[in-house]
């Protein structure tokens, strides 16, 4: 059976400082790297072997993906994880091309479609201080509602609009091929995916909480219908 493993990045330095992060490219904290290591161990215990990985362009998600894949070698089997840079990126030199056996690669595809939701003017602000200034209820609406964006930022609905085409066109294509796919991304980009897979309504979204570094595994039948969901 095909499997889709979703993992929110481990704790970042700004998570630890209770700041809105959004598109600010903050790395993992020591705890965040440990969370990714634990996730790797959990996947090994369940004998999961990943065939392909997708991640956002943000460092905290990429770090999580790499640690999860490499801390326990069994997750990659005999393959080597290799980041696949976009061929049409004018800033990429293309020196990663080589002649030889590409069947021993485990591709990691970074994609901006999986980036965290853009928090606009809230980025960099302390969440508790922002709640004290604007009120807890207003900040909760900015953080958890479906269609209300923070000042100058994206709503979850906006995020879902860019995430779902990528899910259907890129990620589910591998699921249809019977592969096991790892997606390391962010709270809101993953909420968008889970909303679709679990058929959640906008009213149910505020209750959807995702812990950092905890794998969620979906299993699919041959028709790419979800038949099981496990929280590791």
- 179-228 pLDDT, tens digit per residue, is 999 999 999 999 999 999 999 999 898 889 999 999 999 999 989 999 99
Residue 119 forms part of a structural domain: yes
Active site residue 116: yes
Q: What percentage of the chain exceeds 70 in pLDDT?
A: 100
Tokens 């900015």 sit at which residue?
142
- Annotated catalytic residue: which of 9, 63, 154, 186? 9
Q: Do the annotations mark residue 77 as ligand-binding?
A: no
Residue 96 forms part of a structural domain: no
Provide the residue range defining the domain that includes 127.
Answer: 2-88+104-231
Residue 32 forms part of a structural domain: yes
Residue 113 forms part of a structural domain: yes
Residue 128 forms part of a structural domain: yes
Average pLDDT value for residue range 32-47: 97
Pairing of strands 2-8, 215-220: antiparallel
Report pLDDT for 79. 95
Binned at pLDDT 50, 70 and 90, residue 96 comes out as: confident
Report pLDDT for 86. 80
Q: Do the annotations mark residue 168 as ligand-binding?
A: no
| CATH value at residue 50 | 3.40.50.1240
Residue 93 forms part of a structural domain: no
Residue 109 forms part of a structural domain: yes
d(CA 39, CA 214): 6
Residue 95 forms part of a structural domain: no
> What count of other Cβ atoms lies within 10 Å of the Cβ of residue 177?
11
Active site residue 9: yes
What pTM was computed for the model?
0.95
What are φ and ψ of residue 26, in 5° steps?
A: -95, 135
Q: Do the annotations mark residue 117 as ligand-binding?
A: yes
Q: Do the annotations mark residue 135 as ligand-binding?
A: no
Q: Do the annotations mark residue 92 as ligand-binding?
A: no
Q: Do the annotations mark residue 94 as ligand-binding?
A: no
Q: How many domains does the chain have?
A: 1
- Annotated catalytic residue: which of 85, 102, 105, 116? 116
Q: Do the annotations mark residue 218 as ligand-binding?
A: no
d(CA 228, CA 217): 8
């Amino acid at each position: 059976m095909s499997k889709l493993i979703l993992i929110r990045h481990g704790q970042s330095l700004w998570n630890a400082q209770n700041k809105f992060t959004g598109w600010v490219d903050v790395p993992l904290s020591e705890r965040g790297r440990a969370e990714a290591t634990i996730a790797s161990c959990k996947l090994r215990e369940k004998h999961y072997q990943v065939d392909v990985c997708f991640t956002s362009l943000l460092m905290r998600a990429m770090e999580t993906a790499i640690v999860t894949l490499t801390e326990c070698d069994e997750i990659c089997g005999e393959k080597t994880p290799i980041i696949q840079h976009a061929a049409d990126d004018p800033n990429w030199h293309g020196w990663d091309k080589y002649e030889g056996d590409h069947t021993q690669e485990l591709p990691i595809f970074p994609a901006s479609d999986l980036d965290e939701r853009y928090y606009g003017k809230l980025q960099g602000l302390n969440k508790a201080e922002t709640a004290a200034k604007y009120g807890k209820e207003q900040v909760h609406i900015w953080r958890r509602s479906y269609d209300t964006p923070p000042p100058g930022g994206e709503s979850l609905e906006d995020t879902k609009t860019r995430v779902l085409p990528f899910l259907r066109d890129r990620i589910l294509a591998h699921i249809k091929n019977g592969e096991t796919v790892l997606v390391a991304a962010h709270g809101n980009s993953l909420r968008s995916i889970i909303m679709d897979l679990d058929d959640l309504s906008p009213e149910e979204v505020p209750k959807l909480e995702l812990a950092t570094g905890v794998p969620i595994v979906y299993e699919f039948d041959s028709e790419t219908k979800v038949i099981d969901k496990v929280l590791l």
